[in-house]
Amino acid sequence: MDKQQEFVLRTLEERDIRFVRLWFTDVLGTLKSVAIAPAELEGAFAEGIGFDGSAIEGFARVHESDMLAKPDPATFQVLPWRESDGAPGTARMFCDITMPDGTPSWADPRHVLRRALGRAADAGFTFYTHPEIEFFLLKELPRDGTAPVPVDAAGYFDLTPHGVSQDFRRDAITMLERMGISVEFSHHEVAPGQQEIDLRYADALSTADNVLTTRHVIKEVALSQGVYATFMPKPFSTQPGSGMHTHLSLFEGDQNAFYDGGDPHHLSKVAQHFIAGLLQHAAEITAVTNQYVNSYKRLWSGGEAPPYVCWGSNNRSALVRVPMYKPKKSGSARIEVRSPDSATNPYLCFALLLAAGLKGIEEGYEMPPGAEDDVWTLSEGERRAMGMKPLPGSLAEAISVMETSELVAETLGEHVFDFFLRNKRAEWQAYRAEVTPFELGRYLPVL
């Protein structure tokens, strides 16, 4: 038993924790949880907890479906919303999934990211991410298909006295901080009811864990305040969607590998190749960064969503934005990818962003010239002339581009690659079969 495991067991005693929730995610990024009593934890550390993998999206078929969840003690946290005065508490840990023979499961999204990070480490890099999670607070969850109603009518950075959203953000952030998740920034976003919470940058595996935790905490806090939080990419036709702009940086040891003081944008060669890789492979990875039918309604809604493959210095309409450099902060050199939405599976999303960038470094891709203008104001012809290709226009298109991508297959591993495509094809077919209110409203009266 190592020190971290000892720490966990001691904490369970000291804080009178009666349940430990073991968390992991399926291939789509949905959080799964199994609760065990503290007495079972020692065994779980040593051998893992067995479960039926066929019950989890994308893990296994019915035969040979036994799998093990092994808690990662470095992720141990007490769940604050279950900690009322004096009552016994609940804690959680993320798990790595293994096969019965102890080798890692290639269906486990955490393992996908771990492998990608391992390849980066072989090249001498550590990968840091900093996600900005947008979401909506709704008065309630409409279950009959009617349009949702946001909790307020405020806008960007608005301070709403005694507003629900303000209390909400305060409570949510307090809880996140109590779970060891540092929040960099939080504010009211552009649309009514829309909020943003930025997590502090950390290594990609921790941030991916943190994204999952944050989504869960936000949903819990909303429930406790009688409202409903959603990470659906585009719940309103006429309002902006919820993205998860993600800042990326590579470090070589303690040095930021993206920084080069001599470059006009302070971008090192490594950063330039990385950006070129992201652009080159942007279309292939879109089915993962924007994994739902609904994602494409955000992507193509204009405004700050970036459906054209280009980069720009501090250009919020570009797919990859290079933020303004703050003098004397070489450590903070980074780039921002703006396509992912808040409903992505962060493990797979980060793994693919990293793989695309690393590919650019390995192959020495050249970075195209940056976009200066608001990409939306350009004409189709101008964009074509400037070599800006569009991202897939729908989930169906994204799937067919991804199908041909060896980069994605290699990064996700064949198992996840295959499952993901099957799942998404099924989603697209189900969507295609649906007759929507749009069609009824538009065609029924006239046809």
Partner 1 sequence: MSVFDTRSSGTGLLVRLGFSDPARTAAALEQAGLWCDGRPVDAPAGEVVAALADVADPDLALASLVRLLQRVPDPSGLREALSSSPPLRRRLAGVLGSSAALGDHLVAFPSDWEVLRGELDAVRPSVYGLQRTLLAAVEADGDVPPDGTGGARAGLTGVTAVAALRAAYRRCLLALAARDVTGAVTVEEVGGEMADLAGATLSAALAVARTTLSDGAAPCRLAVIGMGKAGGRELNYVSDVDVVFVAEPPEGAGPDGVDAALRTATRLAGETMRVCAAVAWPVDAGLRPEGGAGPLVRTLVSHEAYYRRWAHTWEFQALLKARPIAGDLALGQAYVDTVEPMVWRVGERKGFVEDVQAMRRRVEKTLPGDRASREVKLGPGGLRDVEFAVQLLQLVHGRTDTSVRSGTTLVALDQLAAGGYVGREDARHLSEAYRWLRTVEHRLQLHRLRRTHLLPAPDDEAALRRLARAVGYRGDVLRTFGRERAGYGHEVRRLHEKLFYRPLLTAVSRLPAEQARLAPEAARARLEALGFAEPAVALRHLEALTSGVSRRAVIQSTLLPAMLGWFADAADPDAGLRAFRSVSDALGGTPWYLRLLRDEGSAAERLAHLLASSRFVADLLARAPEAVRLLASDAELAPRPRATLESAFVSVARRRDDWEATVVAARGMRREELLRVACADLLGLLDHRQVGAALSDVAAAVLAAALETATRKVTAERRRPLPVRIAVLAMGRLGGREQGYGSDADVLFVHEADAGTPDAEAASIAHDVAHEVRRLLALPAPDPPLVVDADLRPEGKQGPLSRSLSSYAAYYDRWSSVWEAQALLRAAPLVGDAELAGRFLDAVAPVRWPQGGPPEASVREIRRIKARMEAERMPRGADPKLVLKMGPGGLADVEWVVQLLQLRHAHAVEALRTPSTLPALRAARDAGLLEPDDADVLETAWSLAARARDSLTLVRGKSAVSLPSSGRELDGVARSLGYPASSQGEFLDDYRRATRRARAVVERVFYG
Q: Are 111 and 96 in contact, with CB atoms under 8 Å apart? A: yes
Helix (H) or strand (E) holding 262, with range, is: none
Tally of CB atoms within 10 A around 355: 24
Contact flag: residue 415 with partner 1 (CB under 8 A)? yes
Cα separation, 373 vs 31, in Å, equals 40
- Assigned token pair, 132: 């900005």
Nearest-5° angle of CA 365, CA 334, CA 377? Answer: 75
**Of 72 and 189, which has the nearer Cβ to partner 1?**
72
Cα separation, 409 vs 420, in Å, equals 10
Strand positions, DSSP E, 328-433? 335-337, 389-390
Site for partner 1 in 181-210 (CB under 8 A): 203
Contact flag: residue 429 with partner 1 (CB under 8 A)? no
**Of 5 and 165, which has the nearer Cβ to partner 1?**
5
Q: What end-to-end distance do the CA atoms of the chain give, in Å?
A: 71
Q: Are 210 and 202 in contact, with CB atoms under 8 Å apart? A: yes
Type of residue found at 79: L
Contact flag: residue 166 with partner 1 (CB under 8 A)? no
Q: How far is the CB of 43 from partner 1 (least distance, A)?
A: 15
**Of 59 and 292, which has the nearer Cβ to partner 1?**
59
Contact flag: residue 30 with partner 1 (CB under 8 A)? no
Contact flag: residue 418 with partner 1 (CB under 8 A)? yes
Pick the stretch among 85-93, 121-129, 306-314, 375-383 that binds partner 1 (CB under 8 A).
121-129
Contact flag: residue 252 with partner 1 (CB under 8 A)? yes
Torsion angle of C-alpha atoms 297, 301, 304, 310, degrees rounded to 10: 80
Contact flag: residue 327 with partner 1 (CB under 8 A)? no
Contact flag: residue 100 with partner 1 (CB under 8 A)? yes
Q: How far is the CB of 361 from partner 1 (least distance, A)?
A: 13
Contact flag: residue 414 with partner 1 (CB under 8 A)? yes
Site for partner 1 in 331-390 (CB under 8 A): 331
Cα separation, 314 vs 335, in Å, equals 10
Contact flag: residue 119 with partner 1 (CB under 8 A)? no
Contact flag: residue 409 with partner 1 (CB under 8 A)? yes
HSE-up (13 A, CA, CB side) for residue 230: 19
- Concatenated DSSP letters of 289-347: HT-STTHHHHHTS-TT---EE-EEET-TTSSEEEPPPPTT-GGG--EEE---BTTS-HH
Contact flag: residue 426 with partner 1 (CB under 8 A)? no
**Of 254 and 380, which has the nearer Cβ to partner 1?**
254
Contact flag: residue 447 with partner 1 (CB under 8 A)? no
**Of 63 and 162, which has the nearer Cβ to partner 1?**
63
Contact flag: residue 437 with partner 1 (CB under 8 A)? no
**Of 203 and 397, which has the nearer Cβ to partner 1?**
203
Q: How many residues bind partner 1 (CB under 8 A)?
A: 34
Site for partner 1 in 294-313 (CB under 8 A): none
**Of 168 and 251, which has the nearer Cβ to partner 1?**
251
Cα separation, 7 vs 58, in Å, equals 33
Q: Are 236 and 147 in contact, with CB atoms under 8 Å apart? A: yes
**Of 38 and 104, which has the nearer Cβ to partner 1?**
104
Contact flag: residue 400 with partner 1 (CB under 8 A)? no
Cα separation, 415 vs 98, in Å, equals 14
Q: Are 254 and 357 in contact, with CB atoms under 8 Å apart? A: no
Among residues 16, 42, 64, 140, the one that binds partner 1 under rule CB under 8 A: 64
Nearest of 57, 56, 41, 27 to residue 92 by alpha carbon: 41
HSE-up (13 A, CA, CB side) for residue 354: 32
Contact flag: residue 121 with partner 1 (CB under 8 A)? yes
- Assigned token pair, 368: 């195209």
Cα separation, 29 vs 200, in Å, equals 21
Among residues 13, 85, 101, 144, the one that binds partner 1 under rule CB under 8 A: 101
Q: How far is the CB of 113 from partner 1 (least distance, A)?
A: 13
**Of 225 and 330, which has the nearer Cβ to partner 1?**
330
Among residues 9, 31, 34, 99, the one that binds partner 1 under rule CB under 8 A: 99
Site for partner 1 in 3-22 (CB under 8 A): 3
Summarize as ranges the residues that interact with partner 1 (CB under 8 A).
1-3, 60-64, 74, 99-101, 103-106, 121, 123-124, 126, 203, 252-255, 330-331, 409-410, 413-415, 417-418
